[in-house]
Amino acid sequence: MGLSDIIARIDAATARAGRAPGSVALVAVSKVQPPERVEAVLAAGHRLFGENRVQEAAGRWPPFQARFDGIGLHLIGPLQTNKARQAVEMFDVIETLDRPKLATTLARLADERGTSPEVFIQVNTGAEPQKAGILPDDTDAFVAEVRKLGLPLVGLMCIPPVDEDPATHFAMLADMAARNGVSGLSMGMSSDFEIAIAHGATHVRVGSALFGDRAYELV
């Protein structure tokens, strides 16, 4: 599916939900995709992208940034503390703040650099043992902690369990955001972004529906 098809689907879902036109941003998830597919989406005018890995993003994006103005990059994969410095230098938004130690590291880097990427807190809405994210019960306290550290918290993010109805998880995340006064909601991927928009997503992360299947899956 091309960029214009995805944007048309986002716009239609936004309208169906009675939400303002343009209130949902498309984060085009370019991880693992061949450069020519990414370049085609850039050439079509899109500028907001998501990557899972700091290393992969560091190899891919500098040459594109030299040729295309206004590229925004979101980190949507787990961030190891020892890659935090490289991540804050490269990404405009870190969507995967998922633990206190990473929050203190990001706050220290922000003090040092005088600037910080915006952050989303990743919530493990399904409380899955293998999945990153703050547990639902710990989220309110973590939001307070992140704010106290002075980090620019703009949203919550989740990846629902594969075998469950995503709507339940999107609704849970929207509730948590509302009660904490957080405005951003990064939720919804290729298979469920329209459902996420119905539940208030402000950012949808779409990879394979836009670029085609990935040659291999990141684990």
Ligand X SMILES: *Cc1c(COP(=O)(O)O)cnc(C)c1O
Interaction site with ligand X (CB under 6 A):
29, 31, 52, 76-77, 159, 189-190, 205-209
What would the two tokens of residue 103 be? 């929050």
Residue 28 has a CB neighbour count (10 Å cut-off) of 22
**Minimum distance from residue 70 beta carbon to ligand X (Å):** 22
**Minimum distance from residue 219 beta carbon to ligand X (Å):** 10
**Minimum distance from residue 206 beta carbon to ligand X (Å):** 5
Q: Is the CB of 29 or the CB of 110 nearer to ligand X?
A: 29
Q: Is the CB of 36 or the CB of 217 nearer to ligand X?
A: 217
**Minimum distance from residue 122 beta carbon to ligand X (Å):** 8
User: Nearest to ligand X by Cβ — which residue?
Assistant: 207
Tokens 């902690």 sit at which residue?
Answer: 145
SS3 48: strand
Could you write out the DSSP letters of every residue in 10-75? Answer: HHHHHHHTTPPTT-SEEEEE-TT--HHHHHHHHHTT--EEEES-HHHHHHHHHHHHHHSTT-EEEE
Q: Is the CB of 105 or the CB of 122 nearer to ligand X?
A: 122
Q: Is the CB of 180 or the CB of 190 nearer to ligand X?
A: 190
Left, alpha or beta for 114 (phi > 0: left; psi -120 to 50: alpha)? left
SS3 126: coil
Q: Is the CB of 142 or the CB of 193 nearer to ligand X?
A: 193
**Minimum distance from residue 159 beta carbon to ligand X (Å):** 5
